[in-house]
A and B are shown apart, each in its own frame.
Chain A
Amino acid sequence: MGQISLSQVTKSFGDVNVIPPLDLEINEGEFVVFVGPSGCGKSTLLRLIAGLEDVTSGHIAIDGQDATDVPPAKRGLAMVFQSYALYPHMTVRKNIAFPLRMAKLDQAAQDKKVEEAARVLNLTDYLDRRPGQLSGGQRQRVAIGRAIVREPAAFLFDEPLSNLDAALRVNMRLEISELHKQLDTTMIYVTHDQVEAMTMADKIVVLRAGNIEQVGSPLELYRRPQNKFVAGFIGSPKMNFLTGATAAAYDAQTIGIRPEHLEVSRDSGDWKGVVGVSEHLGSDTFFHVPVPDSDDPLTVRASGEVDLKRGEEIFLTPIQEHLHRFDDQGLAIR
């Protein structure tokens, strides 16, 4: 249950082609995250899988069955919307029970499943409230509860955490991951937050303008990005890019090096620069060091509290095995 494959799927709205031909395999029980910048077609792709939009061409198969023309209700997928889309005039209990009621399950079985879902999601005390009387995080859990009771083949989440504050987001992130471990069901999760992608995913799908740029595990994408876009998108803070003579020295059009892979020294090193703004986070310190051959100042990470002052002259040395080289197409040179 929960194996989804897309073959040559395209989607256009009128003349606008949002998804060019796209192939994707999602395996059973996988936690797949779609990431990409705003407007790249993540939601559209999710809605195509859900059946809320019709594909313009191509095929979608769920568990080996062609589901291209199957209506959303029959695909056996459950979706959690960004706005939660709870039914405002129903109590939490009725909201969670709604899919069961639609499936004409008998009352006793409905109650049992609702209680069970409420217990898993810590909602037992709120079952008789309306969505309007809940906090954002609680609403989120009700939306998830409504999805769980259906025992779907796969869960679809569309930026479910983007309306929550930072602390709650970290919390819910863990809860969703935990839920995935418990249920062992396929989950497809859309986000534009690469931290969410890195922490939760078994498999990340990086999208740009409807194209899949790379598919892989979080660490694969971090270690071996296939192109400049993925290299810049995955990892926080962003990878530094240098061009010109510095890059030419490595036989590349552009070279990339992550902030955590630069060694700092006061006396000697490959690149010379002057310390600009520094950000002290306690555990880490980030320095911004303007150097020639890079449009933006290089970001350098030093662990702990490092005592470098603004205006001080320093030397930076990239750790060779973590250096990424890109050709003039932006593709990685290996």
Chain B
Amino acid sequence: MATKASRASARLMISPAVILLLGWMIIPLSMTLYFSFLRYNLLQPGPTPFVGWENYYWFFTDPSFSAAMINTLVLVGGVLTITTVGGICFALLLDRPMFGQGIIRIMVIAPFFVMPTVSGLVWKNMFMNPVNGIFGRIATSLGFQPVDFFGQIPMASIILIVSWMWLPFATLILLTALQSLDQEQLEAAEMDGANWRNRFWFIMLPHMARAITVVILIQTIFLLSIFAEILVTTNGGPGVATTNLTYLIYVSSLLQFDVGIGSAGGVVAIILANIVALFLMRMIGKNLDA
């Protein structure tokens, strides 16, 4: 890309891709914005008048809204904590030379390849079902009362399922980070009198900081929009115990057929995602430019 001419032609040639991607993003976004200011209910055919902020008003005053906000943050926070801490532990274990290393690594990554709906259903029916699930069976055979996961601890159950799905991602990224650590640094630290805990804390963890940042940022983006796992397991319930923002938007637009309020919810979700991203960037993003 040295000359002016080649730069111009390069720009010309990538423009279709850029325009396509831009359109892909801008068109739905502006339509959502547009719908969020209309009274637009699929059950009431006829004109769709402009109503200003009314949809936002109804969305915010919806009794489920505050619960959905809190649920979203709890879900994201819970899964992030489990996957980062668990991912670091797994990465440390997998980094050690051991028998059958290749197969074990592939097996650890496997959950990531399972579709969210499938893993949600598998967990629901085969593990967490109080009667037929493995956990229930184990509890019964030991003489305990089986736990009704989705009835008694619905949010914790969802967090568990989602964490199971995202743990491989965190493990994989953190493992590659750990493997890129110069062994001589660890040896130097060992000679400097650092025990294992100190080597982890002063050498390995700072080395992984950037990878941890990446894991947290990427996961946050995806975790804010968790949907399939909730749909196939709890349907947002019991009550609104597992309704997150995404699920609330689904409820308003597709169960109550109110496109206007649904769109308003979508816009709120976008803003929330940006606030969280900004917050995270501020907090840990400084790791990225060091």
A interface residues, Cβ below 8 angstroms from B: 50-52, 71-73, 77-79, 81-83, 85-90, 98-99, 102-103, 146, 150
Contacts and interface: CB of A to CB of B under 8 A. Distances in A.
Contacts of B185: 85-87
A102 B194 contact: yes
Interface stretch (B30-38, B90-98, B157-165, B202-210): B202-210
B190 A87 contact: no
B192 A99 contact: yes
A31 B37 CA distance: 83
Contacts, number: 60
A73 B184 contact: no
A50 B193 contact: no
7 contacts: A72-B191, A82-B184, A83-B182, A99-B193, A102-B192, A102-B194, A146-B192
B182 A85 contact: yes
What does DSSP make chain B's interface, helix, strand, loop or mixed? helix
A89 B290 contact: yes
Interface of B: 182, 184-185, 187-195, 198, 202-203, 206-207, 209, 290
Contacts of B190: 52, 71-73
A73 to B, nearest CB: 4
Given A83-B184, A98-B202, 6 more contacts: A51-B191, A52-B187, A72-B190, A82-B184, A87-B185, A89-B206
What does DSSP make chain A's interface, helix, strand, loop or mixed? loop
Contacts of A71: 190
Contact of A87 (B193, B202, B290): B202
Given A79-B188, A81-B184, A83-B184, A89 B207 contact: yes
Given A52-B187, A85-B184, A73 B194 contact: yes
A103 B191 CA distance: 12
Contacts of A86: 185
A81 B206 CA distance: 21
A134 to B, nearest CB: 16
Contacts of A102: 192-194, 198
B203 to A, nearest CB: 6
B192 A73 contact: yes
A78 B207 CA distance: 23
Nearest to B192: A99
Contacts of B187: 52, 72, 79, 81, 85
Nearest to A146: B192
A71 B190 CA distance: 9
A245 B195 CA distance: 64
A72 B192 CA distance: 8
A41 B290 CA distance: 38
Which A-B residue pairs are the 5 nearest by beta carbons?
Answer: A85-B188, A85-B184, A99-B192, A102-B193, A73-B193
Contacts of A103: 193
Given A87-B202, A89-B207, A50 B191 contact: yes
Nearest to B210: A89
Contacts of A150: 192-193
Contacts of A51: 191
A78 B191 contact: yes
A72 B186 CA distance: 12
A161 to B, nearest CB: 16
A155 B9 CA distance: 60
A82 B183 CA distance: 12
Give the one of B184, B185, B191, B193 with max A CB within 10 A.
B191
A135 to B, nearest CB: 19
Nearest to A77: B191
